[in-house]
Amino acid sequence: MNLARFALIATFTLASFASGIAQARPMRNGGKLLLTNGISSLEGASGGGLTPWAVIAGSETSDGIGLSAHGTLVEVKDYDYQSAGAAIGWRDRLEISYAHQDFNTNEIGLALGLGKDYAFSQDVIGAKLKVAGDLVYDTLPAIAVGAQYKKNNNATIVRAIGAQHDEGIDYYASVSRLFLAHSVLLSATARMTKANQLGILGFGGDKHDDYSLQFEGSAAWQLSRRLAIGGEYRSKPDNLGIAREDDWFDAFAAYAVNRHLTASVAYVDLGSIATVKSQRGVFLQLQAAF
């Protein structure tokens, strides 16, 4: 069973379980508004697809413990990416997340001398703390700080292409606000990182081996209680002499099938990846949460 199939099965299983709970007892008052817990980012933190927001995983508020699980597929011109993971949110204050990522080089693996369908993989463990404010109900916007420990599972290869390390830690701070009267969400994140292509190509490089400050932003418009559209931007470091790294963009739609299941689709422009330009394609995700 491949990762994508496993992730989809796990997501639907969790959604079914959560729906059973909701039917067995009434949903208590105070649950989060639909879509305000975000979806799962590529690295597992809750927020947008490309970047975290200052929100905590799951549908529970400060009175409970939330949980989410996701399966993500990104298909671009020459590569494909899969991830699966889960996150737990404690009293809408603390989030712990995990994601396993696989990046398949497909035919390009031959040209790079790695072999057809050579796959890079990485594990990401994250922690996020909401330190002030609230996405909707406080005079302050939600403000959160987080860290993501990343372990690349292809140490020999990433060092051979110029990466200085096969593991690293990203540090970030996010500010997010939903302007409920206008149904508009804005979020900004500042990240300190050494990661090459999220860490999939290692950390640091022959050009740079210092932390650099990167900016990430999201804007979304909620067309209805269940449907939101928007776009994201993520700046990237450029550490490797062998492979230029470009900033990322997307345009997305997220639909709350019900309180526990969200489906997301996006057009993504990831620029140049591992020497190959114009990597554009589609992002698909299913997330279950309760």
- Alpha-carbon gap, residue 286 to 40, rounded angstroms: 9
Tokens matching residue 196: 């090459």
Separation in Å, CA 241 to CA 16, 92, 210 = 48, 42, 15
First-to-last C-alpha distance (Å) of the chain = 26
- Alpha-carbon gap, residue 8 to 285, rounded angstroms: 9
- Alpha-carbon gap, residue 109 to 9, rounded angstroms: 29
- pLDDT at position 248, please? 98
Taking the model in full, what pTM does it have?
0.87
- Alpha-carbon gap, residue 181 to 155, rounded angstroms: 49
- Looking at residue 208, what DSSP letter applies? -
What kind and span of H or E run contains 13?
helix 3-24
Cβ atoms within 10 Å of 126's Cβ, excluding its own: 25
- pLDDT at position 107, please? 87
- Alpha-carbon gap, residue 162 to 202, rounded angstroms: 9
- pLDDT at position 78, please? 94
Spell out the residues 6+ positions from residue 251 whose beta carbon is closer than 8 angstroms to its own. 229, 230, 231, 266, 267
- pLDDT at position 178, please? 97
Separation in Å, CA 46 to CA 38, 124, 231, 233, 279 = 6, 13, 16, 16, 25
Render each residue's pLDDT in the chain as its tens digit; 290 residues: 454 444 444 444 444 444 444 443 333 433 889 999 999 999 999 999 999 999 999 998 888 999 999 999 999 999 999 999 999 999 999 999 999 999 999 988 888 888 888 999 999 999 999 999 999 999 999 999 999 999 999 999 999 999 999 999 999 999 999 999 999 999 999 999 999 999 999 999 999 999 999 999 999 999 999 999 999 999 999 999 988 999 999 999 999 999 999 999 999 999 999 889 999 999 999 999 99
Tokens matching residue 231: 């776009």
- Alpha-carbon gap, residue 206 to 221, rounded angstroms: 41
Q: Tell me the β-bridge partners of 80.
A: 75, 104
Domains in the chain, start-ordered, CATH in brackets? 3-289 (2.40.160.40)
Tokens matching residue 262: 């969200």
- Alpha-carbon gap, residue 198 to 122, rounded angstroms: 9
- Alpha-carbon gap, residue 144 to 132, rounded angstroms: 7
Q: Tell me the β-bridge partners of 187.
A: 176, 218
